[in-house]
Amino acid sequence: MTPRVARALRMLSPHPWLAPVGGDAGVRPGPSPEGARAGLRTAGAAMIAALALPFAIAPAEAAHRPPRTGFETSEGRRWTGAAEERDFLAAVDRWSDRVSVDRVGTTGQGRPLRLVRVGRERPGATTVLLVCGQHGDEPAGREACLTTVRDLAFAEDRATRALLSRTTLLVLPTVNPDGRAAGTRGNAGGIDVNRDHIALETAEARAVAAVVRDERPQVIYDLHEYGATPPYYDKDLFALWPRNLNVHGRIHDASRTLSERYVRPAATAGGHTSGHYGIWTDPATGEPVKQVAGDGQERILRNVSGLKHAAGLLIESRIDALSEAEKTDPARNHRRRVASHLTALGGLLDFTDEQRARLRAATARSRLAGLTQRDPVYLGGADNDPAEPSEILADPPCGYRLDAARYAGVKDELALHGVTVQPERDGVFVPLRQSARSLIPLLLDRRATYHLANGQVRTAC
């Protein structure tokens, strides 16, 4: 047994609702404790095993008692409130020199959009972005994000300290606070934020875009929840990588590795079933029946992440009660949903630590490809759905011209997307030869489904 596994086993005495084997009464039975613990072999898994123990802290911090969320203090009977989140993050920021909290935007109703940074900025560090609570009626991922910030802030075990010495974790804990307050999927204007990562009409999506542009994360991990359709669409957790055909091959492969070799196995080791988001399967054979979601449309963060050179992953926990006990006691249901996200986060941390060299290489290749690439650009299709001939720019243009009026209408959005332009008389020219090459036609070509403006195609440079 390795020292890290031994430590994980010593720390596996958390609140019962976070037991990694689905041991809460009424929850679907998971593997035996021995089987689940045998899977805790890496830094991320060991840390996640201790997430209910924000008590492995330096003696100097012990007097403060690390803060707890409203969800934790109520044992899952209610979700953490906005004021509780504010006070919780302020306390973590005040007591831990690893954490800083900044305001990166303001919603339509005046609520702050916060970015939490865990770990010091160091040359060569891997940057991971957690995007939590895009849909206001999907709160479990947000709770997992908040407690993960706290536990990383105060953990003193060697594995976690080593992880943070070479990793910067960025967390947007509540991307849609107006929707969270109202209990609605959309924001205060009724817009689905996760369908706004091309148009950038909402303050929430603009804040995400600015963070991605400025911080250039190698991984973007997007936490959600879903409603089950038994027996075809009925797993504890679903995951999906960027399917858009313009995502660089190395980014696509790294994203799929994150899903298939790390996040889903971590969920399984924690006693949770998993599958691919958007795909109904035959319960008898496990074979796909039909696809109901999870396509390659570029406006969804999962796909935009890949287009912006980050390994991306969508992760969805099951909202519906798994048992009569969960129906009778909603707190059981809440605790299971948060616990499933926490187990998956262990896989993310392991991936980050073990695959950091691969991530750096994939990100660099993806960014540089736009400077030399002449490959086709796809206006439709997905990695499991070939594009129609009409959706393929087989010989992409040199770029797109925007006159002054059109440019004025999209200037801010192009800047947020990290697109560079060349001033011209009465307008600008947007060359494809830049890091944002694969994204630009989706923004400016009139044939693209969600384009921002009708750019004038220029075939020769």
Q: What angle do CA 426, 430, 431 make, to 5 degrees?
A: 135
Which CATH entry fits the domain spanning 3-364: 3.40.630.10, 3.10.180.10, 3.30.9.10, 3.10.290.10? 3.40.630.10
pLDDT score recorded for residue 65: 81
pLDDT score recorded for residue 46: 54
User: Is 60 a residue whose pLDDT tops 60?
Assistant: no
How far is the C-alpha of 436 from the C-alpha of 414, rounded, in Å?
A: 10
- Yes or no: say if 56 and 155 are a contact pair by the CB < 8 Å rule: yes
pLDDT score recorded for residue 373: 78
CA distances (Å), origin 203, targets 298, 355, 454: 19, 33, 24
pLDDT over 70 percentage in the chain: 86
pLDDT score recorded for residue 175: 98
DSSP letters for 221-285: EEEEEE--BTTTB--SEEEE----TTS-HHHHHHHHHIIIIIIHHHHHHTT--EEETTEEE-TTT
Helices 158-165/330-354 angle, 10° precision: 60
How far is the C-alpha of 334 from the C-alpha of 385, rounded, in Å?
A: 36
User: Is 423 a residue whose pLDDT tops 60?
Assistant: yes
292, 261, 176: which is closest to 224 by C-alpha?
Answer: 176
User: Is 59 a residue whose pLDDT tops 50?
Assistant: no
pLDDT score recorded for residue 265: 98
Mean pLDDT of the chain: 89
How far is the C-alpha of 181 from the C-alpha of 164, rounded, in Å?
A: 32
Please report which confidence band the pLDDT of residue 123 belongs to, taking 50, 70 and 90 as the band edges.
confident
CA distances (Å), origin 135, targets 120, 174, 175, 205: 29, 9, 8, 12
Please report which confidence band the pLDDT of residue 460 belongs to, taking 50, 70 and 90 as the band edges.
confident
Backbone angles phi, psi at 382, to 5 degrees: -160, 175
278, 280, 303: which is closest to 293 by C-alpha?
Answer: 278
Backbone angles phi, psi at 228, to 5 degrees: -75, 155
Q: What are 190's two structure tokens?
A: 């009724």
pLDDT score recorded for residue 43: 52
How far is the C-alpha of 320 from the C-alpha of 268, rounded, in Å?
A: 19
308, 296, 236: which is closest to 271 by C-alpha?
Answer: 236
- Yes or no: say if 270 and 234 are a contact pair by the CB < 8 Å rule: no
Residue 172 burial (CB count, 10 A): 25
Question: Among positive and negative, which fits the CA dihedral 391, 384, 362, 241?
Answer: positive
Give Cα 183 to chain centroid, integer Å.
20
Task: Kindly state the DSSP code that residue 455 receives in the 8-state scheme.
Answer: P
184, 189, 292: which is closest to 234 by C-alpha?
Answer: 292
How far is the C-alpha of 29 from the C-alpha of 219, rounded, in Å?
A: 32
Between 43 and 117, the more confident residue is 117
User: Is 49 a residue whose pLDDT tops 70?
Assistant: no
The helix/strand count (H/E) of the chain reads as: 18, 16
How far is the C-alpha of 237 from the C-alpha of 436, rounded, in Å?
A: 32
Q: What are the sequence ranges of the domains in the chain?
A: 3-364, 396-458
pTM for the full model? 0.90
Percent of the chain as helix, strand, coil, to the nearest 5: 40, 20, 40
Average pLDDT (366-393) is 96
How far is the C-alpha of 19 from the C-alpha of 248, rounded, in Å?
A: 38
Please report which confidence band the pLDDT of residue 378 belongs to, taking 50, 70 and 90 as the band edges.
very high
434, 368, 366, 350: which is closest to 400 by C-alpha?
Answer: 434
pLDDT score recorded for residue 315: 98
